[in-house]
Structure 1
């Protein structure tokens, strides 16, 4: 299948700051791709280059097979929705949506009747037909977001670009609007690119997530694959709320110093490493161990599974899952055993966590408070 968007070796500098460093990415027709990363990772710069709102120092961008170099934003056939909507406050909802149609060149501008039909069709599509005579200041944040989306769709874009579009909404409205948006994307067969720093948002909406760091795409994959198979320590630590545990590997066994965590087997060379774990990877038990105990500071019960705990290790707080038959209580002591996770060395070697043998556990140094 021919890519709807082809990005090749795109670089962009702002003075001595390198915003993008040779970024390449293909987006298939009808695909929903999220650009996810911390502030300063380059995701918004890449989106603005796609929209024609920002230039690039090198590289190529093709949309629908057309080279975008020298093509102004208004001729790209791209709809953009910003975080703060950028609606015209003095215009009604109807006029805001109609704006993109009315500023088209005379030769391609629809008639007044066609504009009216198109705007009302779009307002029905985004489920706010009753608001056409309201001003933006007279409607809610979620409704303004739908107006901004209808305006972006009015020009029949080849691609829809969303720049942190839910950031100004409260949590409950944000969930409702993003689920509705994904349904709209599927119904219309849109090609959509979302910029976000919200992992939950990216995981729920996107077919693929391009994780960005320091101006590069570090890994691009389906959400489940990023959780299951992170390519680098950065991805392992950034995706899914993982906690990094420093350890020392010797003879294939990793020990965690003074932290009350049982040693694990790691197929890594001797030296320093970091193990990245999430709550399901860490079991909290009442059993005593030579590593000593952590203290449970919080307990979260879940009707669908075992309780989750927050364990105080002294140097950090670690989320864990209660082992079978263990009933955690705040303030209780617990022992921690790793049942999964990924480990990375500073030079990029990677290994899966495996439980250590009992003899290896006995040889581990005792934890001292």
Structure 2
């Protein structure tokens, strides 16, 4: 196990890469999917259960944790890893996205953002410097630079102005982060769906220098076609020898398309949120367990899946506990979804290493196009 942060690419297939991010808390196999543990928990899952699905790294939310229970408290209690009983790597976002999307009244200036908490209305201030300090107190392994996420749709002029402020904030984040061996700071590329702005942003970030680079401002309602359009060129603007992280993605077909275009890391609340609302992701596409067709079905969700939901329980049972509002419903379906997402990542890692990603992707789409098993 390394005492420093590093990234190596083991194999490529087209623009897709597979490799390893080394951290003092363990290796992260890439391409990697990071389950989201918003408030120091992946909802409905024990940390050891999340690890059992194959996750090497979790994501925590700076905005939520600074409001409740507070970064100082987490620090006093030994840091986020000890607090939530997860000893593998943790990435924390900067809080910028949540401030823009969740917070109440907010005032944005060059200095930072003043906002009202969505929890109790209390006033807070977040800047590149305070975000770096909060993430230091949390003790995360990968820290995200503080940026602004402009709400789309926006004019190109608005996107450009926002991106350039985010680049100034990226420099301030780098300065405030300081020298922290074993920890990494990632810069975030912005620029909407405009190629020239994306390239300008990438050049600014490379001039500052980061341990990894994120592609931000996508998966915010622009649609898959527009997102893939940006991903056709944006990863190529970033250094080859550093990890590339696509923030907030996504659905399985989004993930597969992003990996094909050279993305190494992704995160999304989708597997856990879907699990709590009765949606299961399978190799045959999405299954809505609340539908009446499952009420008498003794078969598993997915006969090929080795997760606890599929090896121990029938569709009929999963339908029953969801309809009854039982807690085990969200637990089993979340476990299944996280297992499926991690299995998908392992499948792609193996396919890239074997030079057969195109065949893997074709099979992935063909199975999904076939749809769910026929009702009994």
For Structure 1 versus Structure 2, the TM-score category normalised by the shorter chain is: 0.3 to 0.5
Which is strand-richer, 1 or 2?
1
TM, length-normalised to structure 1: 0.35
Which is helix-richer, 1 or 2?
2
TM, length-normalised to structure 2: 0.35
Larger RCO (CA within 8 A; separation ≥ 6): 2
